[in-house]
Structure 1
């Protein structure tokens, strides 16, 4: 896929992987629609883009407010009269033990990460199908392939994305591509903003995150996967090999992850 002049809608574009993707895709000549809840931060991201800012539009949205997403989608399509590719990068993480996590917090994580993504997809997909072309990119996580400590609801939301989009891929015209991206430890503010047991933010960065792959390198790997139309890609350091360990040596994987200090 040639990125130049493609209309790409990025959710979660105000920070982290979404922000890094915005900069790289702008450099490649894409026309961008940037979305998140934080309008002011989106304008900061836009101001940092180096190429034609007339091809960058700000469209705030709240993934938790699923009832609003059809209207937001209609607004997105009107900007350039099309959306060639949507990157679902919006979401929230978790750092709390399962039994200590308030059920409302777990439900909120599912609502943002899973239901918001599903609702937005169901709003944009009919347009893509009518044009017989399109690409849906879902930013999942390695914990969408296995579970670890302190991430029960987050991992569940990412597992759910895999089930939904793997199934959706079998139901739609193969001209509509679906790519699921599974980052590992990427140096972003995701752990700072992660929800704790009572729903408050953690407000600190995990050591593994601080030492993780820079977001800009992660963005480059994601763009390569998009261009190659890969169905599923793992991005990160040695932690990505845990997917293979879980698949081929599940008993050993279980022992290791139980004993591991996961941060």
Structure 2
């Protein structure tokens, strides 16, 4: 799942894909590098200036339709917590609504059911959107992740969302400190065991930076290490900024598991 942010202030690319032409080029590049899903966002997750629903729609509405026309078979996801936005982009051809804030707008799941699109059910620590965690405490963070995401998934099914169109996301760094995010990674099999396919959003996040004491531009190795571990432990979808490197990492894990063969065989055959 490649990240394409239509925001002027995204933490990683610093607005590089805010413009429509730049964003479309980023979509094309991600597809060429092997992304199967494009996740389009119109509001950065971190605190900042207010972004109204109208402004979010100005950024992502219409753009989804352009991407759909350009890539008819691509899975298009939109990162939004607002039902108002979800309704518009679903009508433009989005396949998936990525609710990174854990169901704060309950009507978003209703929109997913109405339009027959998928839904990502995320653990965000029960915080309002765009809120940084502060002294978060859990009796058991993974138990809370499992209970919250499964509850959201089951509610979505009860509303009519197709069970095979639902993903659960432990929400690394959302409502969690870095130790919580590391524990969520280490204990990922507990979420996998629920039977819902697991999406992880690890790319260049603060838990990687704090683990390695690195800045945003020096987190690729840590991100790929966490990606490899998460893949081995059963995650299915990987939200990423660096698509080609992530795809190579996932292919290597799949080859070690025996799920895929060599891309090319040359050694020891003569």
Whether TM exceeds 0.5 here: the answer is no
Please report the TM-score for the alignment, with normalisation by the length of structure 1. 0.39
Please report the TM-score for the alignment, with normalisation by the length of structure 2. 0.38
- Higher relative contact order at CA 8 Å, sep ≥6: structure 1 or structure 2? 1
Question: Which structure has more helix as a fraction of its residues?
Answer: 1
